[in-house]
A and B are shown apart, each in its own frame.
Chain A
Amino acid sequence: MSAKSVRRSPKTRRTKQAADFFDLRLYVAGQTARSLTAIANLQRICEQHLEGRYRIEVIDLLERPQLARGDQILALPTLVRKLPEPIRRLVGDLSDTERALVGLDLRPRSSVKS
């Protein structure tokens, strides 16, 4: 946990930044073509839309199967947006960028959200 906070901005700016800081966890199973596509798509989307305010953790469930339960993982790949709250789940390899942005609340679903 301490490693995470080190990577965040200094404490003085933290509250301001926390609201739009994206803590993302990508679940995959092995180094399959689909896993690699998902990782690449996620990196691209983050660089373009979330520059400097995101953190990606890739979890390979073949190595750590016990983690599937905690985040309610079913389909793979699944991207879980831990922060900002509420938690969002994006299923699939993120090839559909528009849907991915909507899923991350970076594009309005119906109403505008800050």
Chain B
Amino acid sequence: MAKTATRPALVRSVPKSPTGIQGLDEITGGGLPRGRPTLVCGGPGCGKTILGMEFLINGAREFGEPGVFLSFEESIEDLTVNFTSLGLDPRPLAARKKLALDYVRIEPNEIQETGSYDLDGLFIRLEHAIDSIGAKRVVLDTIETLFSGLSDTRVLRAELRRLFNWLRAKGVTAIVTGERGESGMTRHGLEEYITDCVILLDHRVVEQNATRRLRVVKYRGSTHGANESPFFIDESGLSVLPIASLGLQHKVSPGRLSTGVPDLDEMLGKKGYFRGSSVLISGSAGTGKTSLAGYFAEAACRRRESALYFAFEESAAQIVRNLRSIGLDLEPCLRKGLLQIHAARPTNSGLEGHLSAMHRLIEEKKPRVVVVDPISNLISVGTSLEVKAMLARLIDFMKVKEMTALFTSLTIDDGHPEGTDIGISSFMDTWLVLRNIEVNGERTRSLDVVKSRGMAHSNQVREFLLTNKGVQLLDVVRHEGHVLIGSARAAHGEPR
């Protein structure tokens, strides 16, 4: 005790129980308040139950803390089926006494009130479950169901207050879920009783696309991220994407990879991209983004490395056909199975769906090289906040796995690619900008390296040619203070 007293007060925070849920522990600075109840509220289908169950399963599996799940809504059978479908089978843990499930069934039609009562039955039941497995964690889901079965709200309120105090005295870390109310955070004002930590979940539809958000409304005795964070639910459970706290602990590789275009390798310190880096190629329509992506993928296959290509604009067949017109044949790569193209319309599923599908495929195929073409099309699925968070998470994930990722981005305005690149360029190690330049009644393409971290790169704008023999980058010719491109260059006697 004497030792802890010497520590500065600022550093001390309430003790915490990690949830083991990706991202949530980051936002809360280590988990939920240990030995105290946390209120998790939100509308129907917002993921409260899953959050609770994952808290218990992770507790039992990873942190050696058995847990009790007391359900007021779903039977044990239904819960088991639902969780098994998320890859969280509770049965083996229950068999090993790491987890106890109990279903408190409330049938309003079966209950007749005949005089004074209290909720000692619930207390006894919960205590029995806690003591039988030595539980350290408890989830009550959704305790407000009591109000539908018992009519004396005065008694219920007093008993709920007693229950939460009892949970604190018992020293268990609890999640109490509550349905979002019209006026308050929960229908019956549970937030009045649970003030230690309150987490709000939200499942909303923005432009026909379902998105999930999580926010820590309150955390007594601890700092916490106050922003809304997108989260998603897939086969492996729940993940929160904290936007602000992108982990930067991955190792960096000094290895280099060819861009597939010798002239471009030359511009990037003569060697190409860094392995495990992320590359952004932005430009307006028809500037050659997909061509560069295609060369990059093909170069990977030539090194006998696997490449995964996410196409959000064109079908696989279209990409193959179009690239053939500039002398690039992806067919052999596809045949050997080194290259896999996954084409999907961005609107086919929600943002969550794309995120989880991409994660899953990357996990499964373990490619060395990943192409997302174009990332900007995902804007049509979510607001830029989500796209940004999604990218941050994806980039982080790929960096850890030392995968090199190339993203293309369609910019609307040729003049200001920065404005339309949804602020993602800061996540990128290398950023190439392609432009259409209209001079003298003709259109030519240019390429320049805006940045490339950790290498001496060219700072020249180059003329970018797509010929039937591939990509060529030409030095820009200056003549009498003018940049000569296109046919003006030819007229000046420069080769093209």
Contacts and interface: CB of A to CB of B under 8 A. Distances in A.
A113 interface: no
Contacts of B467: none
Nearest to B127: A65
A76 interface: yes
A89 interface: yes
Interface residues of A, number: 35
A99 B114 contact: yes
A82 B470 CA distance: 84
Contact of B150 (A37, A41, A79, A91): A91
B113 interface: yes
B125 interface: yes
Contacts of A66: 128
Contacts of B104: 72, 74
Given A75-B150, A103-B112, A91 B120 contact: no
B118 interface: yes
Chain B residues touching A, majority SS? mixed
Contacts, number: 101
Contacts of A86: 110
Interface residues of B, number: 25
Residue picked from B112, B114, B121, B127, most chain A C-beta under 10 Å: B114
A27 B114 contact: no
B412 interface: no
A103 B115 CA distance: 12
Contacts of A61: 120-121, 124
B112 A68 contact: no
B116 interface: yes
A94 interface: yes
B206 interface: no
Contact of B116 (A78, A87, A95, A100): A95
A103 B128 CA distance: 29
B119 A74 contact: yes
B112 A29 contact: no
A96 interface: yes
Interface in A54-109: 61-62, 65-66, 68-69, 72-79, 86-96, 99-100, 102-103
Contacts of B113: 90-92, 96, 99
B111 A91 contact: yes
Given A76-B118, A93-B116, 17 more contacts: A29-B124, A34-B118, A41-B115, A61-B120, A61-B121, A72-B104, A73-B125, A74-B119, A74-B146, A89-B111, A90-B113, A90-B114, A91-B111, A91-B117, A94-B115, A99-B113, A100-B114
4 A-B pairs with least C-beta separation: A103-B112, A92-B115, A95-B115, A93-B115
20 contacts: A27-B121, A34-B116, A34-B117, A37-B115, A65-B128, A69-B128, A74-B150, A75-B120, A75-B150, A78-B117, A89-B107, A89-B112, A90-B112, A92-B116, A93-B115, A93-B116, A96-B113, A100-B112, A102-B112, A103-B112
